[in-house]
Structure 1
Amino acid sequence: MTRTPLFIALAALALSACSKSEDATTTTAAPVEPAAVEAIEPAPVSAETTADVAAAAISGDSLMTSIGALASDEFGGRAPMSEGERLTLDFLEAEFKALGLEPMFGDSYRQPVPLVSIEADSDTALTITAADGNTTVYAYGADAVFGTSRVVEETGLDASELVWAGYGIVAPEYDWNDYEGLDVAGKTVVVLVNDPGYATGNPDLFNGNKMTYYGRWTYKYEEAARQGAAGAIIVHQTEPASYGWNVVEGSWTGPQFHLASADGNAGNLALEGWVRHEVAQEIFTAAGKDLAAMTAAAAESSVTLEPLGVTATAPIRNTLEHAESFNIGAVIPGAERPDEMFIYMGHWDHLGVMPHEDGAEGDFIYNGAEDNASGTAALIEVARAFKALPTAPERTVGFLAVTAEESGLLGSKAYAANPAWPMNKTVAGINMDVLNFAGLVNDIEVVGFGGSEMEDILATEAKHYGRTLTPEATPEAGYYYRSDHFNFAKKGVPILYAKGGTVARDGDSQAIADYKAAYRAERYHGVADEIIDDWDIDAAVEDMRLFFRIGLNVADSDQWPAWNEGNEFKAIRDASLAE
């Protein structure tokens, strides 16, 4: 088997963690008893509405036909830059054309996504020098992990002064600024993962136990760069991170994939790193500081200036490799307000083929039937419903399949940076990442519950099917920030991320829980993620029809769903709409 080094690296990267994020440790919610979420009577209708008739065009048979193609061995696991990508793009373009959808990107259905692989040489270390000149060397991988997203062959830290910045957060809506009074220009900040709400359990601080974006590692690096720092080192702790050090070591070593910007990501940090909590304790002790006391204080209020008096040296030598992949999208132009868009999205890529010796026997294809041939096929089905309407919706409706989700949400990031419709003209949307095949349920689980008014529309349309809303089981883990909709949220666009719930319509909620647990344990990101006999196709169809009704509700209205008060993306949206 002939494969390029970048292709192999992409597959290995995707296997190391969920979506190149750290979701290798998954918490399975305890089964919910049927009484916990009561079913409601479907909304009475005297006759089929236009929406009902159009929604009926969504077919389980055609869904399975599309999934069967996308998840076939022929498509080879749909890895970016592979023959499977070509087949996937050709298939989707043909389906969009057959439905009469127009290209999303001018006269093309495809949007190029330039990628760069940056792999730091593991033959390096983090050296800490105390004020008295004593040095301590920490091993790369076992003690510290670091790299850069700058597209350069060499960078890193050279005797960079360490500065304590608490949680590294600047959040005006919470009256919180960890950088106030700190001079970090050219220095390296040391910060904690998650946010003060989680640390204190105070429901009135940030979002309490529910992680905000300020708690995510990506934010920590972005804010440090905005503050002019040379580097940022996150202190790892398993509980607030929701994953162990093994995930950090496995996910952030080896090739790291980024978008290839025109300036080579020159504005990013020279070093983005993590250290084990025990290592951080040693560093703070060498500086004559009490990490535990400073951590506790950082959760109560913004940090005060407290120089550590130690420096860090960490050389980074990179191997670079460039390649190109594609997003693919189509639209139904709006009849009255074509410049405003409601968007459906899902990632078409998966993990490709497991590296193996030529002639070896066995199943080496990561078919990705549920993740995410199902969500990609759903784009076709929801588009079919919109085309079944007697007239086009008032607003444009878009259908976007993005690449490289499994390598760090890169396709959606590329689209958000160069959207087909401006973000302040993108009204709202829905991300479909893994459909529900566990069984018909009385609820629908909302990831990032309480985020925006899209949930009010979801509740209205869910009532049509006798369903209610359920908050996600582990809000502290920050799953809303781990799929493609997140890149839209960062631009201010409210995107709904909801999945089939936990309360079985037939009363057997344990069977729902068992199915989901088995998927995570036995099929997720494995070669066993294929079409299986016990899929409940009706459950997936009902969710797709629900998602169709939500989009139609917004597309045929003049409403602009807003982020709820206190949400970290509200200010971004307000500023965007004011332009």
Structure 2
Amino acid sequence: MRRDTDLFFIYLQKKSTDMKKLYLLIMGLIPFLLLYSCGETTEKTDIELLTFDLNIDNLERHIETLASDEFMGRMPMTVGEDLTLAYLENELSQMGIQPGNHGSFFQEVGLVTVTSKTDENLVITGGDENIILNNGSDFVIYSQLLQDEIVVEDAELVFCGFGVVAPEYDWNDYEGIDMEGKIAVVLVNDPGFYMDEDSDLFTGNAMTYYGRWTYKYEEAARQGAAGVIIVHNDAPAGYGWNVVETSWSGAKMQLDLPEGAVERSPLQGWITYPVAQQLMNAAGLDKEEMLQAALSPNFEPVPLGLKTSAKMNNTFEGGVSQNVIAIIEGSERPEEYIVYSTHWDHLGVRAPIDGDSIYNGAVDNATGVAILLEIARIVQAMEDKPKRSLVFLWVTAEEQGLLGSSYYANNPIYPTNQTVANLNVDGIFPFGPTNDLIVVGYNQNELVDWAKDIAETQGRYVVPDQEPEKGFFYRSDQFSFAKVGVPAFYAGGGTDLVDGGREVGEPLRAEYLRKYYHQPGDVYNPETWDLRAIAQDGEFFLRFGIDIANSDRWPEWNEISEFRAIRAADRN
């Protein structure tokens, strides 16, 4: 395994074991200090201020094992999955925790692995001269259809704005056009990204589901398009082209669903922003004028006068992966559930980068797996169990499009109308303990107010997602629960480090996202990681889950949330 020695890996070398122990002692005392010194806190919340010992050695053992080269990047339906499932089952069995699926720790998730290969070049015709694009550096295209050969012939390219149909905003980017036989070229994110932060349209610069690539593919299919190509741009996408290239090349997985259960366009893909500029120039259009037109609800699709053809040869193989599930039954209301979720999978083995081909997924998401194991261990050891049941769910294929959590949410073992809340843990940064806790989806539901009280017991404060335009709420497994109405919560340590503040924390976070997210460099390094950060967030989620479990409250979605009506229908 490669060991890098730049900013991400060298900052924390001065942290010692004694400092880690001192930190845990202090964190354990904070609740009592707050209890006896802050009468306002005890009046405002009914939080039971318990102390917990998240064992850093356990966290380290879990992360080091799961992110080792031996586990081969934990790709579903590989030896990496076999090793991961065996590890989780063994740990849970040793803890004496009850299996969560009628005597089994596993829930089968049918998947299909599709490998879609196309030519090295994509040729765009119709301009003064042909535009020849290179596979990987300029574009990625693929098909999810379970067919040996998919051909799109002389398909006209149509600029369809953001590819959004949103009746509540009187918005239709496909107004007045028949997309049969055509390819929609659409911008990433939604119109709100380019508007004032306080705009009511598309919730301002906070991404809605209309901005996610999954929605754009779904909508183009509903429109009958032969294809859909998303224009990538780093800022509105929230990640660089390297993430697109690595995530959307090679084999991809999808749920094994009956034919016709999901509409899909034959061709799906991405192009870089410079390529989009080339297309606009070839069509005699000004890119800035097209962007401004796309920001209007009166936008109409613009045929570019350009065409392309593509042939994709697919091979596909069905198989079964597993969600892992365990339960600690509530002492008084066992039929009411709080579901902890995290994903166990990562990207497996792919094309080497600087000689390293194993995408180990240490931060993403061996950290989350470890935290849930530690929470389960601690709760199982409690003499007085929480009043409501705690469900622990390690889902598969998050990296392939939230597939495992989507399957569970639509095939729940525990009814969604009896599930009080979902607490999702994903990608905890190991830069050291923080003063702040970032809540993603800050304005979605009442859980954020509850979380503020929990964070206060740690001496922390809660802040909204600092990059709402990137749509992180729709990019992890809590979204699958939200889609079926369950109030869902996703948070993690922020950038205001206890040691160094934002001046140190923000560059560290930015560097991880730029250089290590979904790259082979996401590895565990015991010499540089500060596991106190993992313990701190783990303690938060432990306290939060127990407090919800001991309460009789049912958190609700806020009025502005698109999930409120779904919950109301499910609960009624």
- TM-score, normalised relative to structure 1: 0.80
1:526 maps to amino acid: P
1:77-88 matches, cutoff 5 A: 77-88=73-84
Structure 1 residues 521-568: Cα deviation after superposition (integer angstroms, max 9, x where no partner) = 776643672241354444432322221221122223343323333334
1:193 maps to amino acid: V
Shift of 1:223: 1.6
Tell me whether 1:197 sits opposite 2:188 in the alignment.
no
Query: What's the counterpart of residue 395 of structure 2?
Result: 402
Identify which range, 520-529 or 336-345, moves more after superposition. 520-529
Query: What's the counterpart of residue 273 of structure 1?
Result: 269
Shift of 1:509: 5.0
Preserved CA contact (<8 Å) 2:326 2:393: yes
Query: What's the counterpart of residue 100 of structure 2?
Result: 104
The structure-2 alpha-carbon separation of the partners of 1:577 and 1:168, relative to structure 1 and needing over 3 Å to count, comes to farther
Distance 1:454 1:311 in 2: 49
Query: What's the counterpart of residue 467 of structure 1?
Result: 460
Query: What's the counterpart of residue 153 of structure 2?
Result: 158
Distance 2:502 2:439 in 1: 18
Distance 2:390 2:243 in 1: 38
1:99-138 matches, cutoff 5 A: 99-123=95-119, 126=122, 130=126, 138=133
* Aligned-partner SS, 2:35: coil
Residue 345 of structure 2 is aligned with which of 345, 349, 359?
349
Query: What's the counterpart of residue 386 of structure 2?
Result: 393
Residue 329 of structure 2 is aligned with which of 329, 333, 352?
333
1:280-295 matches, cutoff 5 A: 280-281=276-277, 283=279, 290-295=286-291
The structure-2 alpha-carbon separation of the partners of 1:300 and 1:69, relative to structure 1 and needing over 3 Å to count, comes to same
1:562 maps to amino acid: E
Residue 449 of structure 1 is aligned with which of 415, 434, 442?
442
Query: What's the counterpart of residue 44 of structure 1?
Result: 35
Distance 2:161 2:61 in 1: 52
- Residues matched between the structures, number: 535
Distance 2:295 2:377 in 1: 50
Tell me whether 1:416 sits opposite 2:416 in the alignment.
no
Query: What's the counterpart of residue 563 of structure 1?
Result: 557
Query: What's the counterpart of residue 5 of structure 2?
Result: none
Preserved CA contact (<8 Å) 2:364 2:522: no
The structure-2 alpha-carbon separation of the partners of 1:175 and 1:134, relative to structure 1 and needing over 3 Å to count, comes to same
Structure 2: 5+ residue stretches without partners: 3-29
Preserved CA contact (<8 Å) 2:117 2:142: no
1:556 maps to amino acid: N
Distance 1:44 1:266 in 2: 53
Tell me whether 1:254 sits opposite 2:250 in the alignment.
yes
Shift of 1:316: 2.1
Preserved CA contact (<8 Å) 1:150 1:266: no
Query: What's the counterpart of residue 553 of structure 1?
Result: 547
1:200 maps to amino acid: M
The structure-2 alpha-carbon separation of the partners of 1:302 and 1:223, relative to structure 1 and needing over 3 Å to count, comes to farther
Query: What's the counterpart of residue 239 of structure 1?
Result: 235
Preserved CA contact (<8 Å) 2:99 2:105: yes
* Aligned-partner SS, 1:567: coil
Distance 1:247 1:351 in 2: 12
Q: CA RMSD in A?
A: 3.8
Structure 1 residues 371-426: Cα deviation after superposition (integer angstroms, max 9, x where no partner) = 32222121122123333444443432211112233444333233334232243433
Distance 2:230 2:423 in 1: 32
1:486-565 matches, cutoff 5 A: 486-506=479-499, 509-513=502-506, 516=509, 525-526=519-520, 529-565=523-559
Query: What's the counterpart of residue 8 of structure 1?
Result: none
- Percent identical pairs in the alignment equals 46
Preserved CA contact (<8 Å) 2:405 2:477: yes
* Aligned-partner SS, 1:300: coil
Query: What's the counterpart of residue 369 of structure 2?
Result: 376
Distance 2:298 2:416 in 1: 32
* Aligned-partner SS, 2:342: strand
Preserved CA contact (<8 Å) 1:50 1:389: no
1:546 maps to amino acid: F
Structure 1: 5+ residue stretches without partners: 1-14, 16-38, 357-361
Query: What's the counterpart of residue 26 of structure 1?
Result: none
Preserved CA contact (<8 Å) 1:67 1:374: yes
Distance 2:289 2:162 in 1: 14
2:556 maps to amino acid: A
The structure-2 alpha-carbon separation of the partners of 1:510 and 1:560, relative to structure 1 and needing over 3 Å to count, comes to same
1:554 maps to amino acid: I
The structure-2 alpha-carbon separation of the partners of 1:217 and 1:549, relative to structure 1 and needing over 3 Å to count, comes to same
